[in-house]
Amino acid sequence: MRDIQYAAPRSLDDAVAILSEFGNRARILAGGTDLIVQIREHVRDVDVVVDGKRVSELMELSYTPEGGLTLGAAVPCAVVYQNADVVRAYPGLVDAASIIGGTGIQGRASIGGNLCNSGPAADSIPALIAYSAVARIAGPRGMREVPVEEFCTAPGVNVLQEGELLVSLHVPAPPAHSGGRYLRFIPRNEMDIAEVGAGAFVVLDESGERFVSARVAIGAVAPRPLFVPEAGAALAGQPVNDESLAAAAAAARNAAVPIDDQRGTIEHRKHLAGVLTKRALKGAIDRARA
């Protein structure tokens, strides 16, 4: 047992100053559902926990049809999926937010925290990648932006440097005739970590019968969540049919580089990467047509 300091800054500048002072011995608490467990189990050695929920920029949730969504790093998942604008414009993100833990967890856990935990099987990250989300990061050298597909670098590791914190996520406004979907497969019918997850976002032409563009991301099949540009390339300009979907599924399956563990085998995970990609694309197509 040892003492851990608690800080509750009221401004972004104060939060950055605390993080800069204590370096890697300080951690932002967005929801705490991962961090507190990691501290208790001695996975992370922390001197200062910095509560982000009193910093207004970390609690912002705003949307306009022109500018898109700004989602603060500490906004709880429950607030996300209860917001009518998010439900209407980003249903694939709601898919992910509503299955991160149970109801009690979702009242604290945040999508920003899920991203910063940087688990390969994180549910929100493939959905964020599919929607072209950008991470806005503050630090002692000012603000910078990083596409979410470049944010995670290894299991539990990301691009945040000493003194930096994730402030918010920006998700572009979805164009007409577009739709998103996130799906995961879990070994047990209860709260569990994904064996494979797949996020998809499509833009269709006015007829709804041809792809204009698409983005696919998969999770739990590599050291970090994977953006699969080959899947989108296989769909762009192609008719909406089983042949096109099979090509995208094959691209996702080929991109997957999973491991054997208690949740699944390499063979099963690669198979699921293709199956879930196809199903997520079908769900995104249905939403785009609706």
The pair of three-digit structure tokens given for residue 188, joined into one six-digit string: 């047990």
Same domain, 197 and 167: no
CB < 8 Å & 24+ apart, contacts of 232-237: 235/202, 235/211, 235/281, 236/211, 236/212, 237/210, 237/211, 237/212
Number of domains in the chain: 3
What does the pLDDT read at residue 55?
A: 96
H-helix segments, 154-228: none
CB 92 within 8 A of CB 131: yes
Q: Which residue, of 171, 200, 229, is where some domain finishes?
A: 171
Entry pTM: 0.95
Same domain, 155 and 228: no
Same domain, 61 and 17: no
Structural domain range at position 108: 56-171
Residue type, 47: D
Same domain, 194 and 114: no
What does the pLDDT read at residue 130?
A: 98
In sequence order, what DSSP letters do the residues of 23-37 get, joined into one string? GGGEEEESS-TTHHH
Q: How far apart are CA 67 and CA 114, in angstroms?
A: 24
Same domain, 105 and 155: yes
Task: Please work out, in degrees rounded to the nearest 5, the angle formed at the alpha carbon of residue 116 by the alpha carbons of 283 and 261.
Answer: 70
What does the pLDDT read at residue 104?
A: 87
Note down pLDDT in tens along the chain; length 290 residues.
568 899 999 999 999 999 999 988 889 988 888 888 888 888 888 889 999 999 999 999 999 999 999 999 999 999 999 999 999 999 999 999 999 988 888 998 999 999 999 999 999 999 999 999 999 999 999 999 999 999 999 999 999 999 999 999 999 999 999 999 999 999 876 667 899 999 999 999 999 999 999 999 999 999 999 999 999 999 999 999 999 999 999 999 999 999 998 889 999 999 999 999 999 999 999 999 99
Label residue 195 left, alpha or beta by phi (over 0 means left) and psi (-120 to 50 means alpha): alpha
